[in-house]
Chains A and B, each alone.
Chain A
Amino acid sequence: MLLRLWRDPAWRAVFFQVLLIALVFLGGAWIVNNTLTNLESRGISTGFDFLSQTAGFGINQTLIEYDESFSFMHTFVVGLLNTLLVSSLGVLFATVLGFLMGVARLSSNWLLAKIAAVYIEIFRNIPLLLQIFFWYFAVLGVLPSPRQSISLFDSVFLNVRGVFFPAPVLDSGGMVAFWAFLAAVVIVGVIVLLNRRQRKNTGRPLPWIKTISLAVLLGLPTLSFWLTNGSLHWDFPALKGFNFRGGVGLLPELVALWFALTIYTAAFIAEVVRSGIESVSKGQKEAAAALGLRPGRVMNLVVIPQAMRVIIPPLTNQYLNLIKNSSLATAIGYPDLVNVFAGTTLNQTGQAIEVIAMTMAVYLTISLTVSLLMNMYNRWVALVER
């Protein structure tokens, strides 16, 4: 009887699945039990109560208001924002550099193509952590002290404490101009949409479209700036005591991490772009050239739009890798999520399980959200067969 059931694949499948569930549950229970005993014997409490406790440590780069008296929940948010800051900087610049290098790799200029190839082969075959260390310790670490800063036009300063830029300061009139600029962007967006519809229906664009857009984009902010009698001045960084005050300062940790992430990921993006462009058949390029398009326009109007379909999925993976790789920040002390939360907070509270679970959940959420968004975009650009 039992043997007959065993020989029936359907019953065997049920048996294996029940066995797997049982094993997972037993293993899970064993781990939970061990963990509880271990935690008890070490006197560590469980639960998320620690999040409302006072953190008691400062963070040297905060995008929101924060000091020692804030709670661990705030350190979590501060770390998360810092992670997002360096990730978005990295994604932006890696995309630009990666596309440039990918196109250069296929350039008809032999020298340019070889330089791009050498760049790609060097930087994608060296561990990212090493590159971060190189920028942080070997390049930024040997810069002069604030007093001997390298300065550019006396407004941008580079020293061992970081990079300092002048920051624009807007009064109320300036703020109005800023909002007017945003409004102008929206208006131009509407104009572009209208134009697209017009062209789809009649085959002709709206008249004066470029002039009108430009006028709105430039005119509206200028006009409001002038009407409200606004003023704009720059807050220049200046040496006060041992460091610079005023302006916008970027921590050397941020700069090193940003450079390393950009250069490392761009090498991978360049390869993605190259394979995408190579996937567009030669006939497309020849047809475009036969229509009299110049090489630059062939690239922009014919090749790249078709290559994008091939490029987007692996490009998404590279973006996700960059976001995950930004966690290496902890090795040089940039206050990202892993550093301030899975590092300092974990050490202070000892609540390893909760802290690491929260950290992992954040990255998991980002990963799943980005892949969801990119899948949507992918469906949007996918070939629609008539």
Chain B
Amino acid sequence: MQREMIEARKPPVLSVGFIGWCREKLFATPTNSLVTVAILYGLFSLIPSFIQWAFVDATWAGASSSECSSEGACWAFISSRLDQFIYGFYPQELSWRVDLFFIQLAAVLAWLMIPVLPGKKYSLAYGLIVMPVTSWIILAGGLLGLEPVDTHDWGGLMVTLVLAMYGMLASLPIGVLLALGRRSEMPVVKTFCTVYIELWRGVPLITVLFMASVMLPLFVPEEIVFDKLVRAMIGIVMFQSAYMAEVVRGGLQAIPKGQQEASDSLGMGYWQSMCLVVLPQAIRLVIPGIVNTFIALFKDTSLVLVIGLFDLLSIVQAGLNDPAWLGTSTEGYLFVGFVFWIFCFGMSRYSQSLENNRQEH
């Protein structure tokens, strides 16, 4: 009689491990195999030549495109103008102030985004209220003995980040107010907010920027002169706050009515129940949507090029017109694309990780 358990037989060597994985994931059917082979062929013919062009044959430093090798990428265009791409025309001896702005922004973001750090409430308050003020003082100067720097001299990555930061900080609260207004029981408030939201969501940002740049000066008395950068900011905020409002409204709709009724029965007023009960839940629910709107806003800052501001894209574009750097457009666009991609991809990964965290709980 057999008393011992018969040892389980090993699966056939062709169905486990790397070979099994390949058979299942790459060569499951004839069509699948064909697709795999075609893609592999494509990758092997493209990637080595790209690496050859971008790294092996590339020229990393130089003063004009004539110093670059004709086979490889001309990264000298980026390296020789990196300062301009980051600081624009900001006076060189004052560029530490821009660095300070970058550091403050990075510090506040890290404080907000890294879950283990304490005091989220303070970081939020600092980011929403204090940071806009200190950033403007640091960059524009004119106060605390800082030498004033005109916004005409701002440019490059710094303008992109300034526009994105103020755009995000202003569009979030305005969007929340609009979302509350659209769900309000007062017909006038509701109509006003609905019309505002649908109007801005129905037109392209470029026309809003044109409007902000051409029509805004007509709307105010001639004595008031708006800075070009501020006009662009107003346009971006008007536009993105409408999108933000729709995202927040989605969150508000997902909160059961019982929450509002419970806080009413506790004797809370409208603003108390909204700020203490409904909004914290609603906003936590739509953080991914808010981050997506932030990503769209970040990418949209590049549109200020059409009204003549020098953000990262337009300063590189202007650099490409320099006769000394003819034929380096691919390198320039790859650089700008990479910088934008890092920021946007980082944001989208962060929102995905938040979403995954929430699903685990």
Contact = CB atoms under 8 A, between A and B. Distances in A.
Interface string A122-151: 100111111101100110011000000000
B8 to A, nearest CB: 28
Most buried by B among A39, A327, A342: A327
Contacts of B300: 127
Main secondary structure of the interface of B (DSSP, over half): helix
Given A126-B344, A352-B215, A109 B207 contact: no
> For chain B, which range describes its interface: under 10, 10 to 19, 20 to 34, or 35 or more residues?
35 or more
B220 interface: yes
Interface stretch (B172-180, B251-259, B333-341): B333-341
Contacts of B295: 125
Nearest to A295: B29
Nearest to B336: A130
Contact of A363 (B204, B218, B305, B348): B204
A155 interface: no
A368 B201 CA distance: 10
Given A39-B218, A121-B345, A356-B215, A127 B317 contact: no
A248 interface: no
B214 A356 contact: yes
B344 A31 contact: no
A17 to B, nearest CB: 4
B107 interface: no
A214 interface: no
Interface stretch (B32-40, B61-69, B136-144): B32-40
Contact of A338 (B206, B220, B336, B348): B206
A112 B186 CA distance: 53
A367 B201 contact: yes
B219 interface: yes
B250 to A, nearest CB: 12
A108 B32 contact: yes
A78 to B, nearest CB: 18
A356 B211 contact: yes
A352 B214 contact: yes
Nearest to A356: B211
A364 interface: yes
Contacts of B189: 16-17, 20
B36 A41 contact: no
Interface in A66-97: none
Contacts of A17: 186-189
Interface string A98-134: 0000000000111110010000011001111111011
Given A125-B341, A133-B313, A111 B36 contact: yes
B151 interface: no
Contacts of A142: 327, 329
Interface string B172-216: 000000000000011111001000001101111111001100110
A363 B313 CA distance: 26
B290 to A, nearest CB: 17
A24 interface: yes
A31 B137 CA distance: 30
